[in-house]
Structure 1
Amino acid sequence: MPPTPFNPAAPSAEPIALYVHWPFCVSKCPYCDFNSHVRADIDEDAWRDALLDDLTHEAAMNGGRPLSSIFFGGGTPSLMPPRIVETLIDAATRHWSPTHDIEITLEANPSSVEAARFADLATAGVNRVSLGLQALEDEALHFLGRAHDVREGLAALDVAQSVFSRVNFDLIYARPGQSEADWEAELEQGLSFGTDHLSLYQLTIEPGTRFATLVAQGKLTPADPDHAATLYERTQAMTAEAGIPAYEISNHARPGQESRHNLTYWRYGDYAGVGPGAHGRRGGLATLRHKKPENWMNAVARNGHGLQSEEPLAPEDRAREALLMGLRLGEGVDLERIARISGLTIEALVDGNAIARLSAHGLVRREGPQLSIEPAGMLLLDAILPEIVAV
């Protein structure tokens, strides 16, 4: 019997998450569009009002639902004026119904300037910080294009742990020339800080980046895939032993301390995105805000919101997104749920023969409607997904 077709207009009692994008950086960095992101001075009141208008529009589309998380991201959100952060939190918790344990996260660079604002941001309502340490070696930080050094980064981490109830920081491994012993020592140091969450990413060479150019010029040799796999396996073993096992391919947490906001993405829940360039998913619609700050501001002034587009997602697109996101999680996906939200049959979602074949090799596990990638399969996730995802 086919599942009940998904109705985007139907009201939902499922929690929603809110993403707020603050596009400004205070200095040039390798991750930003210099022309649209670097600002020395902004009209703070105008930005507060525009963000409130954009948020109000999203809330009118799906207000009243439980709000499980707010995430402030973008250029340098930890340099947002705390009064704007507080105003946005207050508005969001009026428009939606905050859960009793609502998670309010802010991304931060580990600089002394930003760390000096942590206490005020905590007072404003932020209860979790995600700190971009990226490495615990000065030479590696220089290679990665970071402005901070290890001393400054660890000082910021110390302030964060004294102010926020929950702290995450990230590290990048499988860097050129990094030995197994090097990474073990760095990860052991990272684990010694006692945070409840770690994001541990392998260095990837993305097309169009500075790293890709260096590789093409023969000035950079990426880590050998077998060596990178060894580092991944050591990462899983060391974090599990420390009580911070992986719950997603690159994210580790003590039980109960997983990122609730990111889990909304990975579990394919709805999330509202406000601010320049913010994406969102709302009742089967994909929303996108104007990326350039000036264009976004003009759109808000003209329309009351910064939307550039609001497009219905085809059933196949909803199913594909849910599978590709959810199979990154150790818990995997519920195929019956994905069939329900997409209107497709389970047989149309996944290739049963491929699942059976990969299960025999210990790479995939299916128990009734639950499908997950085994730990050994996570190493091969990019190759496995095209094999088993049929949409």
Structure 2
Amino acid sequence: MHCNSFSLYVHWPFCTIKCPYCDFNSYKKKNIDSDEWLKGYLKSIDAWASLYSQKKNIKSIFFGGGTPSIMNSEIVMKILERVWRYWSPTENCEISIEANPNSVCKNKLRYLKEFGVNRVSVGIQAFNDKDLKQLGRDHSCLDSLKAIETVQNIFSNFNLDFIYGRQFQSINEWEQELSEILAIGAPHLSLYQLTLEEKTSFYKLWEKGHLKGMPDEKLSSELYFLTGNLCSKNNYINYETSNYSKENFFCQHNLSYWKYEDFLGIGPGAHGRLTINKKKHASIEIYNPDKWLQSYLYKERPLPNLSPLSEKTVFEEKLIMNMRISKNIPISWFNEKKLESKLYDLQKYNLLKKENGHLVLKKKGKLMLNHVSSELLECF
């Protein structure tokens, strides 16, 4: 673990649309006071710098949202300038920004690259117009192809986001679409099965029986294994449940979450996990964008919300995060007696094995990750 470094997440809460499957803290809004928001971010950084060690280095920065690529480039530049006033970047600091295909602008990306952004994550989601429309997206397949070409010409490191397990999607359709995706040769792919999160429009439709054509458990399993097999044949490493990378292109920012390293979140609703005085703390920002902005603009000395975590909570969070990257889990983390009572069934059903003092997930266990995790969480 890089104990002398941390990662920074910057949340931009605004989008041009609100997708029906999205449960992120994001809002459709057009008229945004960029000057006010810049002041809010800068005061937030100042506040955190007063609480968190300035002797640490930053290993990654991620501008997420929302759609941060629609924000004024000057905001990104000024945020980075303020961050570097307090902390220094590690030698290979990864700086990413999320974009949608219709917000990819050649001149803006080149400008951002000049100021240190070295990775772009593009939310494509589907490679056909019919499904893009069903997903509530406001771009076309042609827009996606143009955006990918633009990004490829500027950045060597980029990610493409796709959703599968969509309405009425057959295994053959996904196989053909995934083959087209793999042919692009992107260094990194995030391939997520469509999940119905509470409070989303899709979930409300599903509750009323109006969301038709969702895959059953058998088809979901087949889609997952097909995805892994095809990616593996094309030299992608499945280093996290839904993330696939070429050699040397793992997303360093997301790895900091999954390895349970320190990360700081700024912006409305952003979370963090920070080690202060050798104890892990949770940080959380005000959720509502307007209230978050007001809290930083009009308080003379705004203080972010920090709370220490219990040993049990740290155990639970660290276990869940590590299992997402199929990291071998030290047996020493667990209560030995409680673990032994769980291991019999987990090994009997070929979900995991014991190896060199560690628990190692097997292929079937990765598919049943939620079940395995829930069993092990009882072994604190």
Question: With structure 2 as the length reference, what TM-score do the two structures score?
Answer: 0.90
* Partner of residue 353, structure 2: 365
Report Cα offsets for 1:12-31 as digits up to 9, x if no partner: 84320000111222345446
Q: Which runs of structure 2 are paired with 1:145-160 in the superposition (5 Å)? A: 145-160=136-151
In the alignment, is residue 238 of structure 1 matched against residue 226 of structure 2? no
Match of 1:56 among 46, 49, 56: 46
Shift of 1:168: 0.5
**Does the 8 A contact of 1:199 with 1:252 survive in 2?**
yes
* Partner of residue 168, structure 1: 159
Q: Which runs of structure 2 are paired with 1:266-277 in the superposition (5 Å)? A: 266-277=258-269
Q: Which runs of structure 2 are paired with 1:300-379 in the superposition (5 Å)? A: 300-301=296-297, 302-305=299-302, 307=304, 309-334=305-330, 336=332, 339=333, 346-347=334-335, 351-379=339-367
Cα distance in structure 2, aligned partners of 1:181 and 1:139: 16
Report Cα offsets for 1:248-297 as digits up to 9, x if no partner: 11111112211110011111111111111111111211111112222112
Most deviating of 86-95 and 145-154:
86-95
* Partner of residue 196, structure 1: 187
Report Cα offsets for 1:122-142 as digits up to 9, x if no partner: 222211111110110111111
Report Cα offsets for 1:315-356 as digits up to 9, x if no partner: 1111101111110113344455xx5xxxxxx31797233234
Q: Which runs of structure 2 are paired with 1:173-322 in the superposition (5 Å)? A: 173-219=164-210, 220-283=212-275, 284-301=280-297, 302-305=299-302, 307=304, 309-322=305-318
* Partner of residue 90, structure 2: 99
Cα distance in structure 2, aligned partners of 1:278 and 1:34: 10
| Count of residues in correspondence between the two structures | 371
| Root-mean-square deviation (Å) | 2.4
Unaligned runs of 5+ in 2: none
| Runs (4+) off by over 6 Å | 31-36
Most deviating of 197-206 and 324-333:
324-333
Q: Identity of counterpart residues, as a percentage?
A: 37
Kindly provide the amino acid, as one letter, of the partner of residue 263 in structure 1: L
Shift of 1:114: 4.8
Unaligned runs of 5+ in 1: 1-11, 340-345
Shift of 1:117: 2.5
Report Cα offsets for 1:206-236 as digits up to 9, x if no partner: 2332222332333313201111111111111
Shift of 1:66: 2.0
Shift of 1:299: 1.4
Cα distance in structure 2, aligned partners of 1:54 and 1:350: 43
Task: Report the CA distance shift for 1:294/1:192 in structure 2 as closer, same or farther (over 3 A).
Answer: same
Task: Report the CA distance shift for 1:69/1:335 in structure 2 as closer, same or farther (over 3 A).
Answer: farther
Cα distance in structure 1, aligned partners of 2:56 and 2:24: 37
Question: With structure 1 as the length reference, what TM-score do the two structures score?
Answer: 0.88
**Does the 8 A contact of 2:14 with 2:66 survive in 1?**
yes
**Does the 8 A contact of 1:201 with 1:250 survive in 2?**
yes
Cα distance in structure 2, aligned partners of 1:93 and 1:355: 48
* Partner of residue 33, structure 2: 43
**Does the 8 A contact of 1:18 with 1:69 survive in 2?**
yes
* Partner of residue 4, structure 1: none
Cα distance in structure 1, aligned partners of 2:337 and 2:62: 31
Task: Report the CA distance shift for 1:44/1:218 in structure 2 as closer, same or farther (over 3 A).
Answer: closer
Cα distance in structure 1, aligned partners of 2:356 and 2:185: 37
**Does the 8 A contact of 1:82 with 1:124 survive in 2?**
no
Shift of 1:365: 3.0
